[in-house]
Amino acid sequence: MHLSKKCSAFKVVLSALLIVALLQLIYLSFLSKFHGKQQRYRYSELFGGSGGKKNGHPEKNSRKERLRYSLSTGGIFDNSGQYRVYKNLIKSDLTTNQKPGSDPSSNVLALATHTTINNLHHLESLLERWHNPLSVAIFAHGQDVKFATALVYALSFFCPQIQALVDFHLVCLSGEMASFPEQDREHFAGLEDCASVFSRLETHRDQYKNYAISGNISYPNNLLRNVARGGTETSYILVIDIDMMPSADLHQQFLAMIMKREPASDEVFVLPAFEIRHARKMPATKSELVQLYQVGEVRPFYEELCPRCQAPTNYSQWVNSHVRETGTLEVAYTLTWVDPWEPFYIGPHTVPLYDENFKQYGFNRISQTCELHVAGYRFSVLSSAFVVHRGFKIQGEFHAKKDEENKRNRVLFRSFKEGLKTKYPSSNRRC
């Protein structure tokens, strides 16, 4: 009798457990179906439909239609005919809605940068520092063309700051074409917010270096710089690599400085360039940078690879002047260009373009600063502004063909300098 009661109680408990397990299975099944439906809705919202459908998101439909239109043009070929350029593939709200009489501060200084899809994840940290107009030129090849198109659209769709400030341009080989990414439902099903898009970009992180692209493809760095520059509508432009960071409040400080100066079309403003150990937090101000510099955690850019390339900046003079933060930016001193200086600078939009014959490693930036010198530009070093590269540049970390490319571009640079004599016949300056 006692045993029979125990058995009955056990059966009741077992039945209850089975019911609970069954309910959990039903709940999990419901969650799975709901999540799948939500993902399908997200994908449909992101890539499907058209501007004519009333789904409650007219501004996102408009963004979608602008992308479709940009792609439908087929882009344009560069001067060499080797590359296809989709300028303003995706335009920011700032560019799209720019009207006469709008905030003048947004027309003064823009940042222009370039990358492949494998380094685009740096955009997230760059935007934490730079809250102003930004133009990004992306080079993609093969399957990455479709991937890049989808991911930059997703960034502009999900990330408010990117919607507001960032213009994207796409460059691929002339035989390749970008298309609207509406057939990649499974591949992009996980994209549901800004963080998820950057997480997806992280999976592509450093799969290859910009100069070691699969298929022996040349990275057209100067074409990309020109495309990014041409995508801005500001009076001044700062061109940097996407893994570099400008000092905090640069935009506001430069705006205040430039408003007090007589405009000069023959002057560029140099930002001393540094590199920092990977583990260190990026300095925001000059005083923070100088502290790290003094203990060896920050050093001049390219100090190990080409110290002569940045030495004319005169780091000791810059570090030892005006260390105390005043909140104002000014010209600390003015320099004449000397070979082989290749500074990063803020320049008027009228400065000469980069020579697009230079690709891969070597002489791509120095050729342009050399032309600035021959054209008569002054190089004014700013008192407290700077740029920092994430990580030390060291020997042995470059791609295998670096020296071969450098040798080839050195020959091209000699020819380039000869061409400047014809281009600027009245100049007595030489590189």
pLDDT digits (tens, 9 = 90+) for 208-232: 555 656 667 889 999 999 999 999 9
Q: Is residue 53 part of a domain?
A: no
Domain tally, the chain: 2
Contact 107, 235 (CB under 8 A): yes
- Asked if pLDDT for residue 120 goes beyond 80, the answer is yes
Q: Is residue 309 part of a domain?
A: yes
Distance CA(200)–CA(191), nearest Å, equals 8
Contact 313, 270 (CB under 8 A): yes
- In this prediction, residues 232-251 reach a mean pLDDT of 96
Instruction: Answer yes or no: do 264 and 386 share one domain.
Output: yes
Last residue of a domain, one of 216, 241, 266: 241
Q: Is residue 16 part of a domain?
A: no
| pLDDT score, position 208 | 54
Q: Phi and psi for 87 in degrees, rounded to 5? A: -75, 140
- Asked if pLDDT for residue 302 goes beyond 80, the answer is yes
Tokens of 216: 């022996």
Instruction: Answer yes or no: do 389 and 282 share one domain.
Output: yes
Domain that holds residue 409: 242-430
Q: Is residue 224 part of a domain?
A: yes
Per cent of the chain over pLDDT 70 is 78
Q: Is residue 24 part of a domain?
A: no
Q: Is residue 397 part of a domain?
A: yes
Instruction: Answer yes or no: do 122 and 260 share one domain.
Output: no
Contact 331, 304 (CB under 8 A): no
| pLDDT score, position 7 | 60
| pLDDT score, position 41 | 43
Q: How far is CA 41 from CA 34, 59, 107, in A?
A: 10, 17, 38
Contact 192, 108 (CB under 8 A): no
Instruction: Answer yes or no: do 209 and 190 share one domain.
Output: yes
- Asked if pLDDT for residue 152 goes beyond 80, the answer is yes
Q: Is residue 334 part of a domain?
A: yes
Contact 315, 349 (CB under 8 A): no
Question: Cis peptide before 425, with omega less than 30 degrees from 0?
Answer: no
Instruction: Answer yes or no: do 341 and 399 share one domain.
Output: yes
| pLDDT score, position 26 | 66
| pLDDT score, position 60 | 63
Distance of CA 253 to the CA centre of its chain: 22
| pLDDT score, position 183 | 65
Last residue of a domain, one of 195, 211, 241: 241
Last residue of a domain, one of 241, 274, 302: 241
Instruction: Answer yes or no: do 212 and 73 share one domain.
Output: yes
Among 359, 364, 427, 391, which residue's Cα sits nearest to residue 78?
A: 359
Q: How many CA atoms lie within 13 Å of 188's alpha carbon, on the beta-carbon side?
A: 26
Instruction: Answer yes or no: do 163 and 175 share one domain.
Output: yes
Instruction: Answer yes or no: do 205 and 330 share one domain.
Output: no
| pLDDT tens digits, one per residue of 53-111 | 444 455 667 888 889 999 999 999 999 999 999 999 999 988 777 655 556 667 899 99
Instruction: Answer yes or no: do 227 and 283 share one domain.
Output: no
Instruction: Answer yes or no: do 210 and 299 share one domain.
Output: no
Cα distance between the two ends of the chain: 107
| pLDDT score, position 50 | 44
- In this prediction, residues 137-164 reach a mean pLDDT of 93
Q: Is residue 12 part of a domain?
A: no
Instruction: Answer yes or no: do 250 and 322 share one domain.
Output: yes
Instruction: Answer yes or no: do 87 and 203 share one domain.
Output: yes
Which region among 198-202, 255-259, 324-328, 357-361 has the lowest average model confidence (pLDDT)? Answer: 324-328
- Asked if pLDDT for residue 112 goes beyond 70, the answer is yes
